[in-house]
Amino acid sequence: MSLPADAEALRSGLLAWFERARRELPWRERRTPYRVWVSEVMLQQTRVEVVVPYYQRFLARFPDIAALAAASEEQVLELWSGLGYYRRARNLLKGARFLAGRGADFPTAWKEALAVPGIGEYTAAAILSLAHGLPHAAVDGNIVRVLARLFGVKADPTKGPGKRRIRELAAALLDREQPGRWNEAMMELGALVCSKRPHCLLCPWRGSCVAARTGQQALLPALPARRARVDVIHGVAVIQRAGRLLLRRRGSNVRLARMWELPGCDLVAPVAGELRTGLAGVLAVAPATEPRWRCRHGITHHRIEVYGFDCQLQGEVPVGKDWRWETREVAGGLALTGIARKLLRLLGGRP
């Protein structure tokens, strides 16, 4: 694919900017395929400032593939709890067990990298370029945004011709002598400058950018419309006995599988009678008349209004390992759902 006559100037300008503007981040130290892998998985749909402490704790506990492969799913989810999108953690564990079972480090061949469970094209390209210096162009949301604006790509970049065009541009523009540094610079530009609300005056490419020249920054990339938001009301039973909270573990075939939570259910309205009725098939409770705690929580396109009711337990807790009484301190260290973690903070437990 042909590029503008100033392609080399684009490359040198971006890399010079990157040297000045790059952030000091823990995954940029002592770079290994495993460290890059963990960081890239955590950074999917999650802000850098949120990821940093999780990454540091995760690497302290599981410093390499062998250590992660030997962990249980619950141990991994405990460290992931609060980061969201828990399928990422499960896939990371599957991938580590896959490689450990073969006595292998992360592969250097493209097809072998894609054979690792949970690894897609973006993650494979990021690991192979950043850790091994191999010439693969990484294309994530930040890079899509940069390229669509720079070259004025008006087609939907998530499918068909638009997606192919973006990938072709990424591959053609790639600095093949230093692909890892190049991919990282592109991601950094998208994160710090060419963001959803771009800071064009700070951009090293502002003189070459089609969107900046034509005033289309807000129109590009031309992404498909988001799904309509769904509003949900969720009631939670806060049941305490001798300084301990009653927790239950979610089932295996539901969202947030095997995570710990406070017993609860979705409601039509935040009233005590609905919570009592909604939990009746699982647990007999007598809620206080009014909710004592309230918070908001978001999962994908759902906006959830959470109401916590003080409840008295009527009868016995169901028998089984999926129910337990724990102090707030101990509960804070479990693999909790995001709603449970927020309520625990409101109750005075550790975040």
Residue 181 shares a structural domain with residue 239: no
Residue 322 shares a structural domain with residue 180: no
Structure tokens at 217: 């920054």
Phi, psi of 249 (to 5 degrees): -100, 135
- Name the nearest CA neighbour of 42 among 144, 123, 97: 123
The pLDDT value recorded for residue 350 is 45
Residue 129 shares a structural domain with residue 11: yes
Q: Answer yes or no: are the C-beta atoms of 330 and 243 closer than 8 Å.
A: no
Residue 259 shares a structural domain with residue 176: no
Does 201 reside within a domain?
Answer: yes
Does 122 reside within a domain?
Answer: yes
Q: How far apart are CA 326 and CA 247, in angstroms?
A: 7
Residue 29 shares a structural domain with residue 154: yes
* Strand, helix or coil for residue 86: coil
Q: What is the 3-state secondary structure (H, E, C) of 104-152?
A: CCCCCCHHHHHCCCCCCHHHHHHHHHHHHCCCCCCCCHHHHHHHHHHHC
Residue identified by tokens 């087609």 is 155
Q: Answer yes or no: are the C-beta atoms of 282 and 261 closer than 8 Å.
A: no
Q: Answer yes or no: are the C-beta atoms of 79 and 333 closer than 8 Å.
A: no
DSSP letter string, 156-220: -TTSHHHHHHHHHHHHHH--TTSHHHHHHHHHHHHHHTSSSS--GGG-TTTTT-HHHHHT-TTT-
Let me know if 335 is exposed, middle or buried by CB neighbors in 10 A (0-12, 13-18, 19+).
buried
- Largest Cα–Cα distance of the chain, in whole Å? 77
Does 221 reside within a domain?
Answer: no
40 given a catalytic annotation:
yes
Residue ending a domain, choose from 168, 189, 214: 214
Q: How far apart are CA 11 and CA 21, in angstroms?
A: 15
Helix H or strand E segment including 285: strand 285-287
Does 245 reside within a domain?
Answer: yes
Could you say which of 24, 29, 40, 74 is catalytic? Answer: 40
Domain range spanning residue 314?
230-347
Residue 150 shares a structural domain with residue 50: yes
The answer to whether the peptide bond before residue 26 is cis (omega within 30 degrees of 0) is no
Q: How far apart are CA 135 and CA 104, in angstroms?
A: 22
Tens digit of each residue's pLDDT (9 = 90 or more) over 248-262: 999 998 889 999 999
Does 2 reside within a domain?
Answer: no
Tens digit of each residue's pLDDT (9 = 90 or more) over 16-25: 999 999 999 9
Q: Which regions of the chain are under pLDDT 70? A: 1-5, 349-351
Does 278 reside within a domain?
Answer: yes
